[in-house]
Amino acid sequence: MELMQFTAIVLMIGLTLKLLLLPRRVEENSVTGRSRWLMFGGTALLGVQFVLQMALGLREKGVTQAVMLNLTAFTLVSWLLSLAILRLLTQGRLSRVDAWLGGGVWAAETVLISAAAMTDGETLLSDTHRLQTAETVGSVLYFAMQCYYTVRVVTLLRRMRRSLSDYYDYDISQRIEWMQVSIWVLSLLSLFVPAVIFAPGRWLMGFAVVFFYGTWYFVDSFCAYVKGSMPRKVEESEELRMKSEEFAAVDSDGNGNGAGTGLADEQQERVAAAVAQWTAQGGHRKSGLNKSMVAGQMGVSVNLLSQWLRHRNQNFWDWLSDLRIEEAKRIISEHPDWTNEAIADACGFNDRSAFQKKFKQKTGLTPAEWAEQGE
């Protein structure tokens, strides 16, 4: 038991220092900066919790006393870590429920456990049936809180994936998958808390392994994310999504007659002509594009291009991929000796694997199978 507690203390010190020593540019972004301090608070609190466990020897004094500390600490830590992810997903625009639900649950647990511990004329560190019942109720509240945050994160991640695919010309959604993995780990831990924290010490080994690895993965992935370019990419795509939604809402209340999209016929024709000219010039064969860049090259506003794509029930990435796949088919027919790397580069795909995956998705065949079928 002491070995696990000591390992946890060392791990939390290392993770807390890693968060503390992040580059200055992380703090310059208000979203990543505040998320960083929420993560810092979570790991620091975990470290303090394990120090207290080890110093006071609560496990040796009784399971219930350890549960009192574990439950209140885990709830507070899960709240802080969940808020760190939610701030990244909402660009800091948290709802009141998101911001304060965890604090309310933690306060309710603290009051419930304190009230139960101070009744029946028993001392605070005495095991009583009432105290155990209060801790069980508290663990259920903790699990319910984490379920709420998990649903929120999964829902917002789905929206963010749509936003990214509607702005960039390649799939970068895998760079935010760590958020979903991390929130599911927190949910898994909260699910087993009612059973595990009451269990004898030997049953805690499996829980400790998941906890140690999950916490390390969470913090390490967060640090890699905020140090890279993804926060800026997400901010750009989210700003465009919000502007497009506002534009669509305002325009739909006007006099537009574009099939329920607020896009007038003359606007559709204008964008279609710009798209045709841009495609004829080979604009779609360039890589590293985003919607703002393409709109600028076409000479139309990004909101107008967004409305035109919405009218076609397509997002930016799928639309651009369709153009590139058609170009790839032409190249395969005219140059059967070209490699997939050469075709991917000529068509604007980010790499060979992205080209092969998208080609298979669109045609149901690999490039080689499609070439054989065309012979």
Residues of the chain with pLDDT under 70: 1, 58-66, 119-127, 193-204, 247-263, 374-375
pLDDT of residue 168: 87
pLDDT of residue 12: 95
Q: Residue 369's domain spans which residues?
A: 277-374
pLDDT of residue 259: 44
pLDDT of residue 181: 92
Tell me, yes or no, whether 304 lies in a domain.
yes
Tell me, yes or no, whether 243 lies in a domain.
no
pLDDT of residue 258: 45
Q: CA-to-CA distance for 87 and 149, rounded, in angstroms?
A: 12
Total domain count, the chain: 2
pLDDT of residue 346: 93
> What residue has token string 């369709």?
322
Tell me, yes or no, whether 271 lies in a domain.
no
219 and 302 belong to one structural domain = no
CA angle 198, 204, 210 (to 5 degrees): 120
Tell me, yes or no, whether 264 lies in a domain.
no
Q: CA-to-CA distance for 307 and 41, rounded, in angstroms?
A: 43
CA-based torsion, 142, 144, 145, 147: positive or negative: positive
Tell me, yes or no, whether 62 lies in a domain.
yes
pLDDT of residue 57: 74
40 and 114 belong to one structural domain = yes
29 and 166 belong to one structural domain = yes
66 and 198 belong to one structural domain = yes
Query: Which CATH number fits the domain that encloses residue 60?
Result: 1.20.1070
Q: CA-to-CA distance for 121 and 123, rounded, in angstroms?
A: 7
Please, which residues have CB within 8 angstroms of residue 321's CB and are 6 or more apart in sequence? 358, 362
281 and 232 belong to one structural domain = no
347 and 291 belong to one structural domain = yes
124 and 202 belong to one structural domain = yes
Q: CA-to-CA distance for 156 and 160, rounded, in angstroms?
A: 6
Tell me, yes or no, whether 156 lies in a domain.
yes
pLDDT of residue 266: 85
Tell me, yes or no, whether 251 lies in a domain.
no
Tell me, yes or no, whether 247 lies in a domain.
no
In a 13 Å sphere around the CA of 91, the CA atoms on its Cβ side amount to 15
Q: Residue 152: left if φ>0, alpha if ψ -120 to 50, beta else—which one? A: alpha
291 and 223 belong to one structural domain = no
